[in-house]
Amino acid sequence: MVTEQAFDLLPFTAALDAHGDRPAVMTDEQVLTYRELSDRVEDVAARLRSARRLVALRAGNDLGSLVGYLGALRAGSPVLLVSTESGSSDSVMAAYDPDVILGSDGSDPVIEELRAESRHELHPELALLLTTSGSTGSPKLVRLSYRNLRSNAYSIAEALQITPDDRAATTLPMHYCYGLSVVHSHLLRGAALVLTDLSVVDPCFWDLFRARRATTFAAVPFTFELLDRVGFADMDLPHLRYVTQAGGRLAPEAVRRNAELGRRRGWDLVVMYGQTEATARMAYLPPHLAAAHPEVIGIPVPGGDFRIDPVPDLPAGELVYTGPNVMMGYALEPGDLAQGHTLSELRTGDLARRHPDGLYEIVGRRSRFAKIVGLRIDLGQVEKLLAQDGMKAAAAGSDERIVVAVEDCPDAVAGADLCPDPDPDADQNSDAAARSLAQRLGVPRGAVDVHSVPELPRLTNGKTDYGAVLALGGARSAPEPASGSEGEAPRMDPVRRIFAEELGLREIDDESSFVDLGGDSLSYVAVSVRLEQALGQVPPDWHVLPVERLAALADEAPSGRKWLGALDTSIVLRALAIVLIVGTHAKLFDLPGAAHVLMAVAGFNFARFQLSGDRAERLTRQLRSIGRIVVPSVAFIAVAYLLTDAYSPANIVLLNALVGPETWTTEWHFWFIEVLVYVLLVMVALLAVPWADRVERRAPFTFPLVLFGIGLLPRFGLLDPGVPHTLPVLWLFALGWAIGRADTPVRRLAVSVLAVLTVPGFFGEPARDGMIVVGILLLTWVRAVPVPTGLHGVLGLLAGASLHIYLVHWLVYPQLVGIHPALAVVASLAAGVGYWALTAHLPRTCRQWITAKGR
């Protein structure tokens, strides 16, 4: 037992009358002094003081709830604080079976005594039980002591410099720890509470705010959205001194905007950070730093301290808080109410970093990650990506899928009917958003589920209800428009959906194949990875099989996901080759030759994807494929030219291999892309000739072998191709083309022999020549490589972004290689994937914008 009544040490309950006749509570109808409030609180305490019992309070923002809460604390009874809403609060009440139930008729508390003595064993320091954010309806409660409440009230009052002249409007529910801390800290300093349950979107709230000369209010991020909608920036609030923000991350641009607004209008914005487990708040950002450092949470509140512990496999560490406001521990059942302190520090679960100036920044959440096909997806980052596109969204997820709710009327005031007409294209927009997001994240389209909702689901404290978001994923696995409706696509099975989403098609002919539908080597990666998930094992010739046949294979596929699955060899080679190229350039290791393997892979894919249809169709497909190489290359090299002095205008137009310097300089960095484009253009020109087109069709294997023979002339120095310092590669491209046409073991053996005979001596370096031979033999004989399914997404991402990684790495790795080559490699890969995501997303955004402008 404690030697002193711990509850007598709560000055905001035990010493209310010390503030005499100062105003304590203001409503729209009355003003209650501290002396009057103390008398009412004592009346409740006297009734409850006969025995220490568990008191449950259904708390609203009204005088009766406030008096009942303070009275129970003064009586020394632990309070279980729940909302006035039934359902979730009912389940908590049933789980903990309180001895006394407190309610309110608005102005007075209503007491229902169920027992004269408690049926529970209550620890003497236990003061308050609160539900955690997101656990509404769960029996899991936070156990807070009298010391927790007292210390945090002092910390907040000191951090905010609360004075007796302050008057705080109750903009948040009292059962929410943040809203409750406003009550504690202001009553501690003899300040007044402007007690109301009106929303900030209600004009009556602002009438009351002005009439009671309120000086402050608390806000969560959602509050600022509402404030923007009701014209807060133009309001005349002469007595407003400061606004606090907590309850979730406010976007840096919103922090800066509101901080600057406050500076102009004469009030401060105080960004804060906390959790229920720390009795509300742990950190605050001094207001004068908000505009300059809008991304940070600031410094610990007085009496608290932070440290950052490393987290395996994550770049940032976990923020750990110590201080007298750290909870006693959790309660999962009534028996836990007898426990004392089980914690000395709080592991927040937030990932953070400390700035050199001592300010802390939250960069993620350990539990806000989903692992999709082996990739860790930061759900907070998903929301940021969509916010950049102008979408107000909430993302939840599991290891199977990411579920996103997108508000389809973001400019409407909550509760107002300002968006009565649903968007007729909502399903199409959600589908387009899901497809774009999947590409940007590098995950299969089927792993992303986007739902358009009238308003994001929220908990009673204003935070996003991520449980409700995740539940949206149970409604459907992907958008399925009803069959037969005008303008809508028919229902699609998984295979047809994959083809439609990745190739941007609304109708899929049963007899068409991937190649027939315009698929190429770039879209092949994404489709192949998703098909492997749908079919379990992808046939080696799936790209030429009719969609109807693939759909039948999907129906026959066994349920359940295997840990090991086959992945197309060309995808694996592209992914490994780009890693080897970047790693060799950064001197992490020395394994050259991968770029020439990629040239053979390019010829292999040319044979598979560019040679179907009639001559006009081939020409269109080939030119489109070249464009997908040229456009991002020219755009990036132009930027590189402007930012550095390493390149020339010839690089921008991909002509350096023809007109550039004969000596090797940085201007030769992009030789692979230049020569690949030359080879492809030559092939397009050649096959545009009718007789060449006919010959290729009649002798599909012999034709590339003839080109291979021609390519051997410069390979062995018998012919000068006029392209210095690139080591002629037409023969490798043609060899890959021949591999793509080698449909029998004899033909595969023939190209293997040709590779073994012609590659050695190419560089005069056995290791490099060996790398090329091994890559070509794998491409020839191994159609699919067994790979753990968890790596499919990663390899698919690297393969799909290989061109962009090759471009970007020339600018990235030199900046970091001095720190560590591994860092240089990882950063180059990440930057390349980012550029790939940008170039994949930008055209869609432009098309959507053009479409929207045309409506």
Residue-by-residue DSSP string for 203-261: HHHHHHHHHTT--EEEE-HHHHHHHHHTTGGG---TT--EEEE-SSPPPHHHHHHHHHH
**Domain harbouring 378, CATH code:** 3.30.300.30
Looking at the predicted structure, is the pLDDT value of residue 559 above 60? no
Read off the pLDDT band of 249 (50, 70, 90).
Answer: confident
Looking at the predicted structure, is the pLDDT value of residue 676 above 70? yes
If DSSP codes are grouped into helix, strand and coil, which group holds residue 412?
Answer: coil
Query: What average pLDDT does the segment 198-216 reach?
Result: 95
Q: Lowest mean pLDDT: which of 125-134, 140-149, 265-274, 702-711?
A: 125-134
Mark whether 398 and 286 lie in a shared domain: no
pLDDT by residue (tens digit) across 17-46?
999 999 999 999 999 999 999 999 999 999
Q: Lowest mean pLDDT: which of 261-265, 432-436, 732-736?
A: 432-436
Within-domain flag for 851: no
Q: What is the pLDDT of residue 94?
A: 85
Q: What is the pLDDT of residue 555?
A: 61
Read off the pLDDT band of 842 (50, 70, 90).
Answer: low
**Which residues, 6+ apart, have CB-to-CB distance to 615 below 8 Å?**
687, 688, 690, 693
DSSP 510: T
Query: What average pLDDT does the segment 769-786 reach?
Result: 93
For residue 239 the two structure tokens come to 């007595």
Within-domain flag for 334: yes
**Which residues, 6+ apart, have CB-to-CB distance to 80 below 8 Å?**
54, 55, 56, 57, 92, 93, 96, 98, 129, 141
pLDDT by residue (tens digit) across 531-543?
877 776 777 667 7
Looking at the predicted structure, is the pLDDT value of residue 292 above 90? yes
**Domain harbouring 47, CATH code:** 3.40.50.12780
Read off the pLDDT band of 478 (50, 70, 90).
Answer: very low
Mark whether 434 and 340 lie in a shared domain: no
In angstroms, the CA 208 to CA 122 distance is 41
Mark whether 325 and 447 lie in a shared domain: no
Average pLDDT over the chain reads: 85
Read off the pLDDT band of 133 (50, 70, 90).
Answer: low
Within-domain flag for 193: yes
Looking at the predicted structure, is the pLDDT value of residue 222 above 50? yes
Q: What is the pLDDT of residue 485?
A: 31
Residue where one domain finishes, among candidates 788, 822, 848: 788
Looking at the predicted structure, is the pLDDT value of residue 855 above 60? no
In angstroms, the CA 829 to CA 325 distance is 44
Within-domain flag for 579: no
Q: What is the pLDDT of residue 471?
A: 79
DSSP 17: G
Looking at the predicted structure, is the pLDDT value of residue 283 above 70? yes
Mark whether 666 and 521 lie in a shared domain: no
Query: What average pLDDT does the segment 472-494 reach?
Result: 43
Q: Are strands 79-83 and 55-59 parallel, antiparallel or unpaired?
A: parallel
Mark whether 321 and 386 lie in a shared domain: no
Choose between 759 and 139: higher pLDDT.
759
Mark whether 121 and 10 lie in a shared domain: yes
Q: Would residue 604 be called left, alpha or beta, if left means φ above 0 and alpha means ψ between -120 and 50 degrees?
A: alpha
Query: What average pLDDT does the segment 483-500 reach?
Result: 55
Mark whether 778 and 759 lie in a shared domain: yes
pLDDT by residue (tens digit) across 153-183?
999 999 999 999 999 999 998 998 999 999 9
Q: What is the pLDDT of residue 86?
A: 55
In angstroms, the CA 64 to CA 627 distance is 71
CB of 476 closer than 8 Å to CB of 501: no
Within-domain flag for 578: no
For residue 700 the two structure tokens come to 């599909």
Mark whether 313 and 352 lie in a shared domain: yes
Q: What is the pLDDT of residue 4?
A: 43
Q: Considering the chain, what percentage of its residues have pLDDT values greater than 90?
A: 56
Mark whether 245 and 301 lie in a shared domain: yes
Residue where one domain finishes, among candidates 743, 758, 788: 788
How many domains does the chain contain in total? 4
Q: What is the pLDDT of residue 727?
A: 53
Within-domain flag for 477: no
In angstroms, the CA 726 to CA 409 distance is 56
Q: What is the pLDDT of residue 615?
A: 82
Mark whether 393 and 344 lie in a shared domain: no
Residue written as token pair 């060996």: 770
Choose between 715 and 218: higher pLDDT.
218
pLDDT by residue (tens digit) across 421-472?
445 455 566 777 887 888 777 666 777 889 988 888 887 667 788 778 887 8
Q: What is the pLDDT of residue 370?
A: 72
* Reported pTM: 0.52
Residue written as token pair 């096959």: 687
Query: What average pLDDT does the segment 218-241 reach?
Result: 92
Q: Are strands 360-365 and 346-354 parallel, antiparallel or unpaired?
A: antiparallel
Within-domain flag for 854: no
**CB atoms closer than 10 angstroms to residue 593:** 24
Residue where one domain finishes, among candidates 754, 788, 822: 788
Mark whether 455 and 542 lie in a shared domain: no
Give the domain extent around 303. Answer: 6-362
Q: What is the pLDDT of residue 27?
A: 95
Q: What is the pLDDT of residue 5?
A: 55
pLDDT by residue (tens digit) across 562-600?
677 778 899 999 999 999 999 999 999 999 999 999 999
Looking at the predicted structure, is the pLDDT value of residue 146 above 80? yes
Q: What is the pLDDT of residue 426?
A: 55
Q: What is the three-state SS of 84-150?
A: CCCCHHHHHHHHHCCCEEEEECCCCEEEEECCCCCCCCCCCCEEEEEECCCCCCCCCEEEEEHHHHH
Query: What average pLDDT does the segment 522-531 reach?
Result: 77
Looking at the predicted structure, is the pLDDT value of residue 6 above 70? no
Looking at the predicted structure, is the pLDDT value of residue 13 above 70? yes
Looking at the predicted structure, is the pLDDT value of residue 226 above 70? yes
Q: Lowest mean pLDDT: which of 84-88, 218-222, 445-449?
A: 84-88
Mark whether 357 and 437 lie in a shared domain: no
Q: What is the pLDDT of residue 87?
A: 52
Within-domain flag for 587: no
CA-wise closest residue to 44 among 111, 106, 99, 101: 111
Q: What is the pLDDT of residue 88?
A: 57
In angstroms, the CA 351 to CA 362 distance is 6
Q: What is the pLDDT of residue 77?
A: 95
Q: What is the pLDDT of residue 442?
A: 66
Looking at the predicted structure, is the pLDDT value of residue 367 above 90? no
**Domain harbouring 529, CATH code:** 1.10.1200.10
Distances (CA, A) of 212 to 225, 271, 608: 24, 25, 76
